Structure 1
Amino acid sequence: MGKIIKWAILGAGNFAREHMGPAIHAASGAQLVALGTSSVQKAEPFQAFAPNLRVHATYDDVLADEDVDVVYIPLPNHLHIEWASRALRAGKHVLVEKPVGMTAAQIDPLIALRDETGLMCTEAYMIAHHPQWHRVREMLESGAIGTLRHVDGIFTYNNPDLANVRFDAAKGGGGLPDIGVYTIGSTRLVTGQDPVAITHADIDYIDGVDITARVSARFEGFTAHWVTSMNTHLTQSMTFLGSDGRIRVSAPFNAGSYGEAQVELIQSDGSIRVERWPQEAQYVNQVEAFSASVRDGVPYAWSLEDARATQAVIDAVYEAGPPR
């Protein structure tokens, strides 16, 4: 396997503690060696599974740690560009949480800095590393449902805590930045296309933050409709309707915690096939893929250019919708 890639995390928030910290620890070829937090209490859960973890009181101290190869950045959205840039300048590879920027234009300087440094920097878009999405793309490319006509996507959850950072417009809050990246991004991921037009954008706002968005788009040869919401019962589904069949992904985004990863293919001859991935850990896959890219130059499934393209769609949705 070669060199072990050593990881650090900036911040000790819930998502890093519950998902990415354990994923880095569990990943083959990776080791979690450092954490940036000034809170002893927040560091303790990380040290429970990584007892040799070095805890730095500041993020700058993490970037100065010479034993760190990769910095993972799960900070609030408005801090992503700043700290990803700082980490690149410090000589670290960077995996930054989605969305990378609050607008597509904000991502351009980060792409330029990535190219200037020659370091790996991309968005933590974990679904790109789940085999169910590789399978959907294969099905579409092979013509399993004929010609793709329409994509229907939904991702909703109910968060009643208006003090949560997702409801803070100044910090990049909103349903589209948080979960629209999945409905829109997964459509782009498996079709390889960007929409040619946003034909409808019905958005509900609270204090400048989109709570619910109902979006229609036209692509070359097919249409799409996406619903995202932060005040609606937890629901996830992606459906691809073709001239000769249908593909349905039942747990498209939080496979495992939402439900078993399943792809159902129904074809016009009446045949039904369901493929399942009950044990796949997409966060671990993501860490292993990033580490392999850093160590061996293995091609990576999701680039900053992909993140920028998805953000450009979100920017267009906001522009097409009502004023905030």
Structure 2
Amino acid sequence: MTSLRWGVLGAANFALNHMAPAIHAARGAELAALATSNPAKAVPFQAFAPGLKVHDSYDALLADPAIDAVYIPLPNHLHVEWTIKALQAGKHVLCEKPIALSDADFDALIAARDKSGKLAAEAFMIVHHPQFQRARELVQGGAIGALRHVDAVFSYYNDDAGNIRNQANAGGGGLRDIGVYTFGAARFVTGAEPLAVPYANLRLENDVDVFAQVAADFPEFTYAAIVSMRLFNRQQVVFHGEKGLLQMTCPFNAGVFDQASLRLETTAGTVTIERFPAVNHYVQQVENFGNCVESGAKYPCPLEFSRGTQKMMDMVFAAGNK
């Protein structure tokens, strides 16, 4: 297996704490370069990747012929611009979510990907976790009978005005930060797309959504979600069928919020619990990305899938602005 040489654009805390170590640990991947204008920010990266090359600008890293793929953890409003620049530089691209801020942004992203012939994708790590593969198998395989309702919740508390998640001009807000997970989880597991969003209660602070209560209609089931940056930590997704109930008790921050597990209860009077204690979905994501680059296999979360989540988010914003 050929090792993919990765570069990281920016010394973001999330890159330092999660994705850079995942790239370093993944099979078939090498954490080779980092772009930052502040050499001090490179030091903690070099602590676990001593051979890391440091570039003083994003453009310099993109010009490095030794780099095969780029991971982009920049603020949300910069994702489209730098994803396209990286593709034009001949790099494969894994960009943090949300990769775009509107459905229309995907036209340029997909065109740049297709023209380059490179793999470009949103870093939507949850679909790489085996709990989501298993949940999809159970729901679509009829383990809970006909699916009639999905509940999703994701919340944490962050009122730091200096944090980009609380800054409108950086594309902040709870929906763009974590709503992508509550929407994308339902779409991935069920394979269905929303028909309408009849209700969205959005609470804004400084033009950034800090609480959202959403109702959506899918072809065969209803959907309800709560997403907030101003509530105590909570996350769960529940798939409610005519003959059973499937609960994902730690769907989004597996191994951090709690241990990933699935709880299946059916009319047969059985309760089955499956646990996934040892999986790092960031490492899985990097390895899947590399495998798809090498083999040409279909990536689990292509831009077209991410576009579907963005379409749903656009529907939510439209409903909330009525």
TM-score interval (norm. to shorter): over 0.9
Percent of aligned positions with the same letter in both sequences? 50
State the one-letter code of the partner of 1:204: R
Q: Which residue of 2 aligns with 1:160?
A: 159
Deviation, structure 1 residue 142: 1.4
Post-superposition CA distance 1:142-168 (Å, at most 9, x none): 110000010000000001212210111
Q: Which residue of 1 aligns with 2:249?
A: 250
Q: Which residue of 2 aligns with 1:74?
A: 73
State the one-letter code of the partner of 2:143: A
Q: Which moved more, 1:219-228 or 1:314-323?
A: 314-323
Q: Which residue of 2 aligns with 1:291?
A: 290
Deviation, structure 1 residue 299: 2.0
1:1-324 pair list within 5 angstroms: 2-322=1-321
- Give the SS at the match of 1:104: coil
Post-superposition CA distance 1:66-91 (Å, at most 9, x none): 11000000000000000000000000
State the one-letter code of the partner of 1:308: R
Structure 2 CA distance for aligned equivalents of residues 286 and 142 of structure 1? 25
Structure 1 CA distance for aligned equivalents of residues 233 and 161 of structure 2? 17
- Contact map agreement 2:197 2:215 (CA 8 A) in 1: yes
- Give the SS at the match of 1:102: coil
Deviation, structure 1 residue 176: 0.5
Deviation, structure 1 residue 108: 1.2
Post-superposition CA distance 1:99-125 (Å, at most 9, x none): 011111012111011011111001000
State the one-letter code of the partner of 1:245: G
Post-superposition CA distance 1:41-89 (Å, at most 9, x none): 2100100000000000000000011110000000000000000000000
State the one-letter code of the partner of 1:86: K
Q: Which moved more, 1:168-177 or 1:291-300?
A: 291-300
Count residues with an aligned counterpart: 322
Structure 2 CA distance for aligned equivalents of residues 142 and 314 of structure 1? 27
TM-score computed with the length of structure 1 as normaliser: 0.98
Structure 1 CA distance for aligned equivalents of residues 260 and 132 of structure 2? 10
Structure 2 CA distance for aligned equivalents of residues 45 and 220 of structure 1? 49
Structure 2 CA distance for aligned equivalents of residues 221 and 298 of structure 1? 30
TM-score computed with the length of structure 2 as normaliser: 0.99
Structure 2 CA distance for aligned equivalents of residues 97 and 233 of structure 1? 24
Structure 1 CA distance for aligned equivalents of residues 320 and 114 of structure 2? 34
- Give the SS at the match of 2:293: helix
In structure 2, stretches of 5+ residues that fail to align are none
Deviation, structure 1 residue 298: 2.4
- Contact map agreement 2:20 2:45 (CA 8 A) in 1: yes
- Contact map agreement 2:159 2:166 (CA 8 A) in 1: no
Structure 1 CA distance for aligned equivalents of residues 92 and 268 of structure 2? 49
Structure 1 CA distance for aligned equivalents of residues 303 and 171 of structure 2? 18
Deviation, structure 1 residue 38: 1.1
Structure 1 CA distance for aligned equivalents of residues 321 and 95 of structure 2? 30
Q: Which moved more, 1:209-218 or 1:163-172?
A: 163-172
Structure 1 CA distance for aligned equivalents of residues 306 and 299 of structure 2? 13
State the one-letter code of the partner of 2:276: W
